[in-house]
Amino acid sequence: MVAYILRRVLIMAPTMVLISVIVFAVIQLPPGDYLDTLVAQMASQGDRVDDAQLAALRARYGLDQPLLVQYFRWISGIVLHGDFGQSFEWNKPIADLIMPRIGLTLAIASVVLFLTSIIAIPIGVYSAVRQYSIGDHLATLFGFIGLAVPNVLLTLGLLYITFITFGLEPGGLFSREYQNAPWSLGKVGDLVAHLWIPVVVLTLAGTAEVIRVMRATMLDELVKPYVETARAKGLSEVRLITRYPVRLALNPIVSKLGWMMPIILSSEAIVSVIVDIPTTGPLLLRALLAQDMYLAGAIILMLAFITVVGTLVSDVLLAVLDPRIRYA
Amino acid sequence: MKPVQWTTRWSTFTFCAAALLPFSVAAAEYHEAPALEAAAMAETLPPVADRLPLHPMVVTPEESIGQYGGTWRATMFGASDHWWLIKTVSYEPLIRFDAKSGKLIPNLAESFEANDDATEFTFTLREGLKWSDGEPYTADDIMFWFEDVFSDPELTPAPAKWLSTESGPAVVEKVDERTVRFTFQEPNGLFLRKLASNSNIGEIAPIHMYPRHYLEKLLPKYNENAEAEAKAAGASSWAEHFGNVTGSLSRWRYAGMPTLLPWVLTSPYDDRGLVAAERNPYYFKVDPQNNQLPYLDGYEFRVVQDAEAMVLRALAGEIDLQDRTIATLKNKAVLYDNQDRGNYHLFDVPTPDHNQMIVYLNLNHNDLAKRELYQNKNFRIALSHATDRQEIIDLVYFGQGEPWQAAPRRESVHFDEEFAKQYTEYDPDKANALLDEIGLTERDSSGFRLDKDGNRVAVFLEVPSDFRPDWTDVVELMKAQWQKVGVDLQIRPLGRALIRNRALANEHDAFVFIGNGGLDTDLYLEANNFFPHDDTGYRTFALLWSNYFAGLEPSEEPPASVKAQFEARRKLLGAADPAVQQAAMQTIIDGAKEAFYTIGTALPSPGYGIVSNDMHNVPGAIVNYGPIPYIGVVNPEQFYKTSN
C-alpha cells in the first residue's frame, strides 16, 4: 500500500512539469500581449500610449525576451522562491491576489461535492432498487433538468426570482454594510445568504451524472448471483444493499472524484462571474482576456495541482475500498 | 509677452472672477460639512477659511444650492474600468473645459496666457491651494513633476507627444512660487486643449497629480533606501514602484496619496471589489453662498464582473448616477420600464461621434493592383451606394440614427449637409453602373466581379471581435448588400490589438472603427478621420502618406490634395488663435469631403444614463466628449442627494 502511494506521488512531479509547460504555451498562443490589450483599452477611450513608452514597458515586464527565457524566469521564481510574480493588470504580487480567493473557491467546491454526494448517491441507489417507479422517474427528471439547463440560465433565473420575490440585493459576496466590516455572526449570515445560489446551481448540475452512474452500476450489481445468495441467506434488504452492491457501485463514483473537482471549479467560474463572487474563476477569466499571463498561469497551475492531488486522493480511496486495485 | 485676442478673453474672465471675490472674502463666512465643522471645533482640523485658498473657485450649481451628505453609488465593470473614475471623479486639471461655453477656463490655475505663436504658456496657481493632507500645492510640485519625473529617462522613457514639438520636449521653468512657464521650441497650438482633456494621459499621470512631499521618498535621489523599499513593496525596482504608485491607471490601486480632487480614495480599486472615497477637507471650490464643496460625503463604486449584475443593481435602486457599461441599447427597455421601481430616471448622453461604424479601405495597399482599385474614388462611391444604411439602422440600431458619412455632426461649426449625406442613398443600380464604368465588368460563376487579372473583387474586412458587438451584425448585413453588386465582402473577426498591429505594418486590406471627431471639442484633438494621418493604428487607412506627414519610413509622397490637408494641419498646430485654427480645420474638412476617403454608415443617436431621483444638480444631458472627462466636466462636486 505504501509503495502504491509512493509510486503515485512520484508520478505527480513530471505531470506538474508537463502541465506547467503546456499552461505557459497555451497562454502565449493568442497574438499580442498584455501591453497590446492596454493600448487597445486606452485607444477606445480616446487615449494613447507612445510607442517608445510601450517599448520601455515591454522591457520592464520582460515581454521582449524569447519565450523560453520568459518560461524559465517564471517557473524558477515559483519553484525556487515560491514567487508567482507580479500581475500586470493589478500591479500586485500574484500570491496576494490568489490566496484570499483560493480558500473561498475550495470551500464552495467542497460544499458542492459534499452535497452532490449525499443527495445523488442515495437517490441513485433508490432509483436502481425501485426501477421505473414514480420516484425513479421523478429523480431522473429532476436530475436531467439540472444537467440540461445551462448554469448561466439557472443562475440568472434564481437571481431574478430572489430579486422579484424577496427584493434581495443582487450579487456580491457581502451586502454593502458588511463589505469592509470585520467578521461577525451577522457577516457570516450575510455570506451564506449570498453563497446559496452558486451552491444550488453547481449541485444541481452535478447530481444528474452521479445519479445515473450510481443507478446503472447498481442495476448491474443487483442481478448478480451474490445478491441472490445473500437474500437467500436471509439478510435484511437494507443491510444487503448497503453492504454489498452499494460498495461495489461506489467504485466508479470514487474514481470520478479526482476529476469532479476541476469540473466544479470550471463551471464555478461562470456562475461566480454572474453572481459576482470573488473566487478564482472570475479572476482567471479576466486575466485571460487581459493577457495578464503570469496571473492566468498561476491560477491554471494551481487548479491543475488541485486536480492532480484530487486524482491521488481518489486513487488512494479506491485502493482502500477495493483490495484488487492495490496490487494491480 | 503679448496675449492674443482669445487669451485676453480668458484673462477677462479671470479678472471678473477675481473682481467678484473681494465681496465674498469680505463676507468670508465659509460654511462646511457638519463632520468637518466638528473636526475644526475639536481642533483636529484647521478652520475652513484656512483650508480654502485665498480665492476659492466659485462653482455655480446646475439647479440649486445643495445640502451636505450622501454617497454616490455606482458600479464598475471588472478589473480595468479605471475610465469610469477618470471620467467622473478625477477632473481637476490646471485649466478645464467649461461645459456650457465650450471654452477653457481656469481651475487650479487662477489665470493662464499664451503668446502669439503658441510657444510660451504661463500659468499662475491660486494662492493657498492645499493637498488633501494640508500641505501647500505650489509651483514646486509642478517642478518636481518636470525635473524628477518628466526629465528622468528611466521614469519617462519617451516624452509624451503632446508635450513635445519637433525639436524636443517642453521646458518648464518656475517663475515664482505660484507661477510656471512652459516653453516649446515650435508652436504647439493644441497644448491648452490637451492640458484640459485626458488625451494627455498615456501611462503618465496628468502633471498636477504629483505631490512632491509624498513622492520624493520613492526616488533614490531623495531617499537612499528607495530601491529596497520598492522591493519590499513587491516591485522589481524603484522605477517600477514609482510607476505603479503614480501611473494614470495603476494609481487607483493604492490609497494614501494626497490629492486635489473633491474626494480622497479610502478603499482603492483592487480585487476587494469596492472603490470608495470620502470628502477632501481641503478642496478648493465653494458654491456662490460660500459653502465649501463637495456636497456629497463620498462615493462607493462596487466592482462587478458581469454587466447583468449592474442592471439588477439599478433596478434595486442601488445606483445613483451611471451610464458607463450599463446604458446599452439592449438594456434601454428594461431600464426605462423599471424607473419607478428603482427610483431613478434617464438622462441623455449625446455622443460626439459622427458615425456608428466607418469602413476604411487601405489606400496604400501593399498589393499595387488593390491600391489602385481602392484609390479609385468611384469604387468607394459605388460601395457607398451599395450599402443600405436604413436597413442597418432599422435592424441593428433599433431605428435610431440616420444615414451619415464620416462627416462632422450638425452641432459642429464645420457641419456640411452635403458632405454628411453624399453618396448615402441606397442605389444598387448606380453602384453597378459605376463598377462597370471602372472596368470590373467580368463576373465569375457565383456572380462576383473579376478584376483585370481575373481575380474576384473581394474586400477582406477586419472587424474587432472584442469591442463592439453591433459591428458584427452591421458587417453581416453589408456582406449581403455588397454581394448584390458583385463585390465579395469577406469578414475577418480579429482582436483589436491585432488589427492595430496589422494596420501599423500595412498588412491589412480594410477594417472598421468608430467615427470619432464629430464635435469640435474632440475634432481638433484628433482629426484623423478627415485626413490620412493617424498614429493610433485604429484609423490608419493610408500608412505611407501618414508616415510622410510624420517624417517616418516607409513613406510615399501623397497627391497634392492630401498635401494641402497636411499643410492645413501644420498651420492649425502652429497657431494659438482659434480663428486661424478654425479656418485651417475647414480646409481639412473640405479636403475630406472632396477626397471621400472612407465609407460611413449611420449617425449615432444620443446615449443615456440613469440618475437617481434623489440625486440633484445633474444636467439633463451630458455630452460624452471622447477625450474629455464628460461627467467630470459637469462638476460632480456640486451634485447632492436628498436621502441617505
Nearest Cα neighbor of A39 from A26, A60, A55 is: A55
| Same domain? A113 vs A154 | yes
| Same domain? A205 vs A131 | yes
| Same domain? A37 vs A132 | no
pLDDT band at B57 (very low <50, low <70, confident <90, very high): very high
Q: What is the DSSP string of A136-188?
A: HHHHHHHHHHHHHS-HHHHHHHHHHHHHHHH-PPPSSSS-GGGTTSPP-HHHH
**CB nearest to A44's CB, from B78, B273, B467:** B467
> Are B522 and A40 in contact (CB < 8 Å)?
no
Residue carrying the nine cell digits 515560491: A82
pLDDT of residue B26: 44
Number of domains chain A is built from: 2
Residue bearing the bigger pLDDT, B214 or A202:
B214
Residue A233 domain-assigned (yes or no): yes
pTM, entire model: 0.80
pLDDT of residue A168: 61
Say how far apart CA B253 and CA B258 lie, in whole Å.
14
Whether residue B97 contacts residue B197, with contact meaning beta carbons closer than 8 Å, is answered with yes
Residue A106 domain-assigned (yes or no): yes
Whether residue B139 contacts residue B177, with contact meaning beta carbons closer than 8 Å, is answered with yes
**ipTM for the assembly:** 0.73
pLDDT band at B283 (very low <50, low <70, confident <90, very high): very high
**Residue B467 touches partner A, C-beta closer than 8 Å:** yes
Q: Which amino acid, one-letter code, is at B223?
A: N
pLDDT of residue B339: 94
- Computed on alpha carbons and rounded to an integer, the radius of gyration of chain A in Å comes to 24
Residue A132 domain-assigned (yes or no): yes
Residue A290 domain-assigned (yes or no): yes
Task: Tell me the nearest-neighbour CA distance from A267 into chain B, angstroms.
Answer: 15
Interface subset of A 142-161, CB within 8 angstroms of B = 156, 159
| Same domain? A32 vs A127 | no
Interface subset of A 281-300, CB within 8 angstroms of B = 282-283, 285-286, 289-290
Whether residue B518 contacts residue B413, with contact meaning beta carbons closer than 8 Å, is answered with no
**CB nearest to B497's CB, from A32, A56, A180:** A32
Task: Judge whether residue A39 has pLDDT over 70.
Answer: yes
Residue bearing the bigger pLDDT, A172 or B481:
B481
C-alpha distance from residue B631 to each of A19, B87, B107, B540 (Å)? 48, 6, 16, 30
**Residue A29 touches partner B, C-beta closer than 8 Å:** no
Grid coordinates representing B115? 503668446
Task: Tell me the nearest-neighbour CA distance from A6 into chain B, angstroms.
Answer: 37
Residue A154 domain-assigned (yes or no): yes
Sign, CA torsion A58/A63/A65/A69: positive
| Same domain? A111 vs A13 | no
**Residue A255 touches partner B, C-beta closer than 8 Å:** no
Please write the tens of the pLDDT for every residue from B525-558: 888 899 999 877 888 999 999 999 988 889 999 9
- Provide the 8-state DSSP code for B31: B
- Which range has the worst mean pLDDT, A99-113, A245-259, B457-471? A245-259
- Count CA atoms within 13 Å of residue A284 on its CB side: 22
HEC sequence for B132-167: CCCCECCHHHHHHHHHHHHCCCCCCCCCCHHHEECC
Task: Tell me the nearest-neighbour CA distance from A16 into chain B, angstroms.
Answer: 26
Task: Judge whether residue B290 has pLDDT over 50.
Answer: yes
Interface subset of B 203-262, CB within 8 angstroms of A = 203-204, 234-236, 239-240, 243-244, 247, 250, 253
Calculate mean pLDDT across residues B436-445.
93
Task: Judge whether residue B234 has pLDDT over 90.
Answer: no
Phi, psi of A142, deg, nearest 5 = -60, -45
Task: Tell me the nearest-neighbour CA distance from A150 into chain B, angstroms.
Answer: 16
Say how far apart CA B355 and CA B601 lie, in whole Å.
6
pLDDT band at B592 (very low <50, low <70, confident <90, very high): very high
Interface subset of A 68-127, CB within 8 angstroms of B = 86, 89-93, 96-97, 100-101
Whether residue B275 contacts residue B85, with contact meaning beta carbons closer than 8 Å, is answered with yes
Say how far apart CA A240 and CA A125 lie, in whole Å.
12
Nearest Cα neighbor of B186 from B172, B173, B167, B200 is: B167
| Same domain? A155 vs A257 | yes
Q: Residues in chain B, how many?
A: 644
B445 in helix, strand or coil? Answer: coil
Cβ-Cβ contacts under 8 Å, B250 against chain A = 91
**Residue B79 touches partner A, C-beta closer than 8 Å:** yes
pLDDT of residue B1: 40
Calculate mean pLDDT across residues B304-310.
80
pLDDT of residue B237: 86
Calculate mean pLDDT across residues B323-348.
91
Domain finish residue from A48, A81, A114: A81
pLDDT of residue B197: 82
Whether residue B498 contacts residue B466, with contact meaning beta carbons closer than 8 Å, is answered with no
User: How much of chain B, in percent, has pLDDT values that exceed 70?
Assistant: 94
| Same domain? A107 vs A11 | no
Nearest Cα neighbor of A53 from B251, B552, B149, B155 is: B155
pLDDT of residue B7: 39
Grid coordinates representing A68? 523560453
The pLDDT mean for chain B works out to: 89
Task: Judge whether residue B138 has pLDDT over 80.
Answer: yes
Please list the residues that pair with B322 across neighbouring strands.
Answer: B610
- Which range has the worst mean pLDDT, A238-247, B9-18, B425-434? B9-18
**CB nearest to A46's CB, from B309, B497, B627:** B627
Nearest Cα neighbor of B107 from B117, B118, B121, B93 is: B93
**Which chain B residue lies closest to A46 (C-alpha atoms)?**
B627
pLDDT winner (highest mean) among A138-147, B33-42, B521-530, B569-578? B33-42
> Are A46 and B199 in contact (CB < 8 Å)?
yes
**CB nearest to B158's CB, from A48, A50, A176:** A50
pLDDT of residue B20: 41
* Full domain range(s) for residue A311: 95-321
Residue A327 domain-assigned (yes or no): no
pLDDT of residue B14: 39
| Same domain? A27 vs A53 | yes
pLDDT of residue B19: 38
CATH number for the domain harbouring residue A267: 1.10.3720.10
Task: Tell me the nearest-neighbour CA distance from B420 into chain A, angstroms.
Answer: 23
pLDDT band at B3 (very low <50, low <70, confident <90, very high): very low
| Same domain? A269 vs A140 | yes
| Same domain? A125 vs A163 | yes
> Are A47 and B272 in contact (CB < 8 Å)?
no
- The domains found in chain B, sorted by start residue, are 1-30+93-211 (3.90.76.10), 355-603 (3.10.105.10)
Task: Judge whether residue B228 has pLDDT over 50.
Answer: yes
| Same domain? A309 vs A221 | yes
Q: For residue A171, what are the contacts with CB-CB under 8 A and spacing of at least 6? A: A159, A194, A274, A275, A276, B304, B306, B309, B312, B313
Taking one residue from A and the other from B, the number of pairs with CB-CB distance under 8 angstroms is 158
| Same domain? A99 vs A231 | yes
Say how far apart CA B619 and CA B153 lie, in whole Å.
44
Residue bearing the bigger pLDDT, B305 or B227:
B227
pLDDT of residue B16: 38
